[in-house]
Structure 1
Amino acid sequence: MENKKMNWDTFKTSLRANPGQILQFQYAAGKWVAASYHITEIKHAPVTSVDCGGVMNAWTEVIVQLWEPSEKQSDRAMEASKALKIIDLVESKIDLHPKAVVKIEFGNHSFDTRQMYPDNIVVDGENLIVHLQPDATQCKANDRGQTCGTPKPDSLKILATADACTPGGGCC
């Protein structure tokens, strides 16, 4: 994975360092998970894939699922210490790999459910704010310099000026 993603150990360490802070999640500019959210489950997901270049890839994700109840239940989000109690309960049942990539799964009536990465975690007054960034599709083969039938970015200039496109040339 080319971007530096937060791992499970770093995420937990941030919570442990700020147990009395109010845990808030910002999923877009000016958009916050409602204060009455619940952590409904924590998933440990080993992923094995083969990309379009035929290379096998493997990594592990820890996915924290947040749910907003349809009716407001609280004006104040949970403290980090409550989230840590949930984490401890989960970790008493399953081993969560400390270097696993963390994703937060969330959606509501105006935001389609998706998995997002914690971009950073900051303390702001009494709040511990987890800023989320969307996940994006990537081509691991292109990241390694393979083309998998798609032109390399520097060859696009050549293709754009070519007079003809030949079968198997990768420009059609």
Structure 2
Amino acid sequence: MKTSEFLSVLKQHQDKSLLFEYAPEKFVGANYHITEVKNITIDSVDCGAGTDFWKETIVQLWESPKEKGKRDYMSVYKALAILNKVDHIKPMVQDAEIKFEYSNEDFHTAQLFVDDYALDNQSLIVKLSVEKTDCKAKETCGVDPKAEVKEETSTCCSPESGCC
């Protein structure tokens, strides 16, 4: 989801609570805070010597240990106010992909993308997902994208493949 799309969804549902589902039926605690918003520029070279360049917006979510028993979630209105304030200080790239950085004691730190969202009477639920790593140079490295890649026999980035 693009940053502009996410902000648009927030604008349409300001009267709701904002929940984040980081895995099926697992939610960021009601004690979360938006602790940082990052404008990230990726300028990369893949294992086939291909270059790429893109921007992302990363919103960091943190659960406050002092508010562990909190039951009321942040309102969409408050989250939108925070993001609007950030945008006035350091403008967000509206067509950049938005991701959420999160971890807790049972879930490793990850940057999660917005897979979908759902609504009920009280809440806007943002459904987050992990994005698996992938070889972007399959053709250059001779990897059949349809074949299952076995770690022992992968040719992408092996010394004899010529792509690394």
In structure 2, give the amino acid aligned to 1:27: Y
Q: Which of structure 1's runs of 4+ aligned residues deviate more than 3 A?
A: 153-156
The equivalent residue for 1:133 is: 129
Alpha-carbon separation, structure 1, partners of 2:48 and 2:89: 37
What secondary structure, in the 3-state scheme, does the structure 1 residue paired with 2:137 have?
A: helix
Between structure 1 and structure 2, the one with the greater Rg is 1
TM-score, structure 1 as length reference = 0.81
Alpha-carbon separation, structure 2, partners of 1:102 and 1:128: 17
Alignment of 1:16-165 (within 5 A): 16-71=11-66, 72=68, 74-142=70-138, 145-147=139-141, 150-153=142-145
Q: Percent identity?
A: 37
Between 1:71-80 and 1:118-127, the stretch displaced more is 71-80
What value does the CA root-mean-square deviation take over the aligned residues?
2.1
CA deviation after TM superposition for structure 1 residue 86, in Å: 0.5
Q: Is contact 1:37-1:68 (8 Å) kept?
A: yes
Alpha-carbon separation, structure 1, partners of 2:147 and 2:20: 42
Alpha-carbon separation, structure 1, partners of 2:93 and 2:48: 28
Residues 69-103 of structure 1, C-alpha deviations (whole Å, 9 max, x = no match): 12425211111110011001101111211110111
In structure 1, give the amino acid aligned to 2:72: R
Residues 114-148 of structure 1, C-alpha deviations (whole Å, 9 max, x = no match): 11001011212211000000121111112xx322x
State how many pairs are aligned. 151
TM-score, structure 2 as length reference = 0.85
Mark the runs of 5 or more structure 1 residues left unpaired by the alignment: 1-5, 157-167
